Structure 1
Amino acid sequence: MLRIGVVSDSHRRFAYVPDMREKCGRLDWLLHAGDHLSDAPRIAADLGVDPSRVRAVAGNCDFPETEPDELLLELEQVRILMVHGHRHGVKSGPQRVLYRAQEAGARVAIFGHSHVSFLEDVGGVLLLNPGSLSLPRRPGDLPSCAVLELAGGEVRARLQFLGEDSI
């Protein structure tokens, strides 16, 4: 089974990475859905993820854009679409990301931008927003990330909330 850590919107803040390491356990890959994607190598190192197994997309706070703003990956026979979401209007809902994933034949669509975690399977597309690793949007929300597990074409995911009050 391949275990993938998914983060977004880290914004150069790393305080919750040790908690992520403790709560998420061993990770084989790290995917960063933008906004300070340059944080990805440091986060991966702290999590023990090999640098060759890190992928990231550019968000609206990534200047200059050094990575693409959309990425299609295939891991364990599962096609994954990654975008930040600012070009897809995700603050109004995930519909445009869903349509893009369907168009690309993706089973999983990872996005960020809203700083609000989201996990739902819609018509065979798993929509996954890990929330923000550092700056949750809504009062009372905790920083968060996600773990995506892939095995033989099967997909499982869970959101992981971070911080002293999380379970």
Structure 2
Amino acid sequence: MKAIIVSDSHGLTDELAQIAARHRHEADMFIHCGDSELAAEAEEIAPFAVVRGNCDWAAFPNERMVEAAGIRFLITHGHLYGVKTSLSRLSDRAEEAGADVICFGHSHLAGVEKMGGRLFINPGSIALPRGRTEKTYAVLSIDGGRAHVQFYDVSGRPIAEMERTVSLERT
């Protein structure tokens, strides 16, 4: 199973279309963690399971639960869970929802963390990154209980030092 995860595109359309086209033959799922600032009918957002961010005005849901290959995904922007200061509220929500993988944005800080037996992924921002100069998105590959997360810059180059592989087993 392979998921392409983006967030915080803040009105960009060409970049979303390029990412979707680049990965269209390999991805099982496209996720947008909010702040697209696009209309729900926008062609560029069509391939993505989208949630509403604090800068969105379209009627996207605040969160989504999606299941793929037996993995439960919680997708949210993060602003309703205070992710800029702590992941604790989001972790509580993930536990309540029975999520295995949590995809979120809001902080514009790319990263991956395993916490409480769950995998948290923030793809960063393809528009306004923080903490790094690269405008980033993430590709999550899951095979045999192992998750591999590779971050890419918006042009499709992998960022080697951000690559991470973890077990999805709960400890």
TM-score (norm 2): 0.77
* Structure 1 unaligned blocks of 5 or more: 46-50
Amino acid aligned to 2:139: V
Paired residues in the alignment total 157
Cα RMSD over matched residues? 2.8
Instruction: Trace 1:1-167 onto structure 2 (pairs within 5 A).
Output: 2-14=1-13, 16-17=15-16, 18=18, 26-36=26-36, 38=38, 42-43=43-44, 51=47, 54-64=48-58, 66-138=59-131, 140-151=132-143, 154-163=146-155, 167=159
* Structure 2 unaligned blocks of 5 or more: 160-171
Aligned to 1:102, the other structure's residue is in SS state: helix
Aligned to 1:160, the other structure's residue is in SS state: strand
- How far apart are the structure 2 equivalents of 1:32 and 1:137? 18
1:19 Cα deviation (Å)?
6.6
1:95-135, CA deviations, whole angstroms, 9 ceiling, x for partnerless residues? 22112111111100110000111101112100000000111
TM-score (norm 1): 0.79
* Higher RCO (C-alpha 8 Å, min separation 6): 1
Amino acid aligned to 1:63: W
Aligned to 2:12, the other structure's residue is in SS state: coil
Give the fraction of aligned pairs with identical amino acids, expressed as a percent.
37
- How far apart are the structure 1 equivalents of 2:100 and 2:120? 9
Amino acid aligned to 1:60: N
Q: Quick one: structure 1 residues 70 and 89, their matched pair in 2 at CA, closer, same or farther if it must change by over 3 Å?
A: same
Verify the 8 A CA contact 1:119 1:159 in the aligned structure 2: no
